[in-house]
Amino acid sequence: MSATAAAALDGEDFAQLPESAPSTGREKSVADLMNPPVGLFGPKVTVREATEALREQVKSAFITYIYVVDDGGRLLGLVVMREMLLAEPDTALEAIMIADPFALDASLPLTEALKLALHKHFPVYPVVGEGGRLVGLVRGSDLFANRAVEISAQSGSMVGVDKEERMGTSLTRSLKLRHPWLQINLLTAFVAAAVVGAFEDTLSRLVILAVFLPVMAGQTGNTGCQALAVALRGMTLGDVKPGMERDLVRKEGMLGFLNGGLVGLTAGAGMFVYATITGEQQPFTLAAVVFLAMIIACSVAGIAGALIPLTLKRLGADPATASSIFLTTASDVASMGIFLSLATAMMPAP
C-alpha cells in the first residue's frame, strides 16, 4: 500500500495559502479551520483492537494520531503511532497515551492559537469544545499558512493597507480599503503644514530653509521608521517581554540621538556648502541649525517609533495598524517645527 501515506505526504498535506475571508467583522477562530475528528477510541481499548480498527479507518481518512476519549467524548489522551508499534498488543491505550495533551479551544481566535502552536509544530492539533469534548482536528499547515499570511501583512498595515487585501483584490475594493487611511494621513499632514505655516515670516526671509524641509522630514521619518520596524518585529516574535518596554524606548531614543548627530554632521555640511554657493549671509549658523535640529528631531522620532506600537497595543489595537501614519505625523511636526523654531531663534529678523 503506502499509497495513503504517499497521498498524505504529498497530496493531503499540501495546504493552499488561504485567501483571507471577506471581513465579517469578527476574527476567524479555530472552529473555522477544523475538520471532524478521526481515530477516536476508548481508554480500555487494546493496542491490538485499535490496530485492527485502524486498518479499516485509514482507507477513508488520514489518521496521524489516535485520540483517547471517554463515553461523553471528552479528550483524555493522545497516542502516537510509534508507541502503538512498540507496545505489547494487549496493552490498553490509556497505558501508553499522553494524558491531557495540548489542545486548542474551538472558540480561540486564530491569532491566539498561532501563538500557542508556534513552538509546537505538530502536524495536527486536537480541538476541544465545552467540557473538554473533542470536537475536531486542525492541521498545523493550515494554522501556519495563516500565520505567514498574517505576518506578511504587517508592512501594509503600517500605512493603512487592510490585511484582507491581496494581489487578487479588485481595483474598486482596494480603493475602498486604502482610501480612508489616505484621507486620515492628509489630516495629519495638515497638522505638519500648520506648523510650517506658523513660520511663514521666517521662511519668507530665508527661502533656503524651505529647500531643507524635505531633508529634515525625510531623514527624521526614516530614523523613526527604523525604530518602529524593530519594535513591531520584537512584538511579533514575542521578544518584547513585559517590563522591557522602557528599555526599548530608551534604546531607540539613544539610537535616534546618535544617528541624528552623525547624519546631522553630513546634512549640516550640505547646508553649509549650499548656503555658501547661493550667497546666503550666515552659512555657518544655518549649518548649526540643521545639525541641532537633526539631533533633537531624530531623538524624538526614535522614541515615537517605539512608543507608538506599544501604545496601540495597550489600547487593545493591532500595534501595526496605521503606525507609520501616526509616526510620520510625529516626525514631520518634530523635525520641521524644531528646525524652523531654531532658525527663528538663532537668526532673528534684523
Q: Which of 146, 219, 321, 344 binds a second copy (CB under 8 A)?
A: 219
Candidate segments 30-38, 126-134, 179-187, 281-289, binder of a second copy by CB under 8 A: 179-187
Q: Can you tell me the distance from the alpha carbon of 229 to that of 324, in angstroms, rounded to the nearest whole number?
A: 9
* Cell reading at 209: 530653509
Give whichever of 107 and 204 is closer to a second copy, judged by the CB atom: 204
Residues 59-118 that bind a second copy (CB under 8 A): 63-64, 78-86, 95-98, 101-102, 118
Q: Which of 20, 111, 188, 341 binds a second copy (CB under 8 A)?
A: 188
160-187 per-residue burial string, b: 16 or more CB within 10 A, e: under 16? bbbbeeeeebeeeeeeebbeebeeebee
Contact 295, 264 (CB under 8 A): yes
245-266 per-residue burial string, b: 16 or more CB within 10 A, e: under 16? beebbebbbebbbebbeebbee
Q: Can you tell me the distance from the alpha carbon of 300 to that of 309, in angstroms, rounded to the nearest whole number?
A: 15
Q: Is 178 in the site for a second copy (CB under 8 A)?
A: yes
Q: Can you tell me the distance from the alpha carbon of 141 to that of 124, in angstroms, rounded to the nearest whole number?
A: 8
Q: Which of 23, 44, 107, 123 binds a second copy (CB under 8 A)?
A: 123
Contact 321, 177 (CB under 8 A): no
Give whichever of 5 and 130 is closer to a second copy, judged by the CB atom: 5
Q: Is 223 in the site for a second copy (CB under 8 A)?
A: yes
Q: Can you tell me the distance from the alpha carbon of 338 to that of 331, in angstroms, rounded to the nearest whole number?
A: 10
Q: Is 212 in the site for a second copy (CB under 8 A)?
A: yes
Q: Which of 33, 106, 113, 192 binds a second copy (CB under 8 A)?
A: 192
Residues 235-274 that bind a second copy (CB under 8 A): 236-240, 244, 248, 251, 254-255, 258-259, 262-263, 266-267, 270, 274
Give whichever of 107 and 218 is closer to a second copy, judged by the CB atom: 218
Candidate segments 22-30, 67-75, 130-138, 142-150, binder of a second copy by CB under 8 A: 142-150
Q: Can you tell me the distance from the alpha carbon of 346 to that of 194, in angstroms, rounded to the nearest whole number?
A: 21
| Residue (of 168, 192, 207) closest to 286 by Cα position | 207
Give whichever of 160 and 283 is closer to a second copy, judged by the CB atom: 160
In the beta sheet, which residues pair with residue 105? 128
Q: Is 313 in the site for a second copy (CB under 8 A)?
A: no
Q: Can you tell me the distance from the alpha carbon of 255 to that of 1, in angstroms, rounded to the nearest whole number?
A: 62
Candidate segments 21-29, 126-134, 135-143, 281-289, binder of a second copy by CB under 8 A: 135-143
Candidate segments 29-37, 128-136, 158-166, 310-318, binder of a second copy by CB under 8 A: 158-166
Residues 33-62 that bind a second copy (CB under 8 A): 51, 54-55, 58
Q: Which of 213, 285, 313, 341 binds a second copy (CB under 8 A)?
A: 213
In the beta sheet, which residues pair with residue 41? 68
Candidate segments 22-30, 105-113, 207-215, 342-350, binder of a second copy by CB under 8 A: 207-215
Task: Give Dmax (Cα) for the chain.
Answer: 102
Q: Is 211 in the site for a second copy (CB under 8 A)?
A: yes
